[in-house]
Amino acid sequence: GENVEQHPSTLSVQEGDSAVIKCTYSDSASNYFPWYKQELGKGPQLIIDIRSNVGEKKDQRIAVTLNKTAKHFSLHITETQPEDSAVYFCAASSLLGANNLFFGTGTRLTVIP
């Protein structure tokens, strides 16, 4: 089955700096890679996703890059703000929506004002 590794487990940045979280996956059949943000007491919220036919996707301060050959993908957050503080999970799936999501172990991001 799929194995998703995520690094780092914790990350602290100064407000305004950038944050990068990296994930690797093992199953070459995976073709859909979402990122979720989980705030305390809440469920995971989808913040951005990418399919394997695209190398990069950007939404305002958030971007995701995918290297299918190397089987890794990354989340980039620029101009970080205190409200970006949360736990971020990457995931991989072989079928968008209607299939199991294999989650990484999570990254606790703290943005220091």
Query: Binding to another protein (CB under 8 A): which residues in 62-101?
Result: 89, 96-101
Query: Which stretch of DSSP H or E encloses residue 102?
Result: strand 102-103
Closest C-alpha among 103, 97, 13, 21 to residue 62: 21
Residue 96 DSSP one-character state: S
Binding-site member from 19, 73, 92, 106 for another protein (CB under 8 A):
106
Does residue number 42 form part of the binding site for another protein (CB under 8 A)?
A: yes
Q: Specify the residue, 38 or 78, whose C-beta has the smaller distance to another protein.
A: 38
Does residue number 29 form part of the binding site for another protein (CB under 8 A)?
A: no
Q: Specify the residue, 16 or 54, whose C-beta has the smaller distance to another protein.
A: 54
Shortest distance, position 14 Cβ to another protein, whole Å:
25
Residue 84 DSSP one-character state: G
Residues 77-96 as b/e (b if ≥16 CB within 10 A, e otherwise) read beebeeebbbbbbbbbbeee
Task: Please choose, out of 20-28, 39-47, 54-62, 73-81, the segment that lies near another protein by the rule CB under 8 A.
Answer: 39-47
| CA dihedral of 76, 4, 70, 38, whole degrees rounded to 10 | -10
Binding-site member from 25, 36, 73, 88 for another protein (CB under 8 A):
36
- Give contact residues for another protein (rule: CB under 8 A): 34, 36, 41-46, 49, 89, 96-101, 103-106
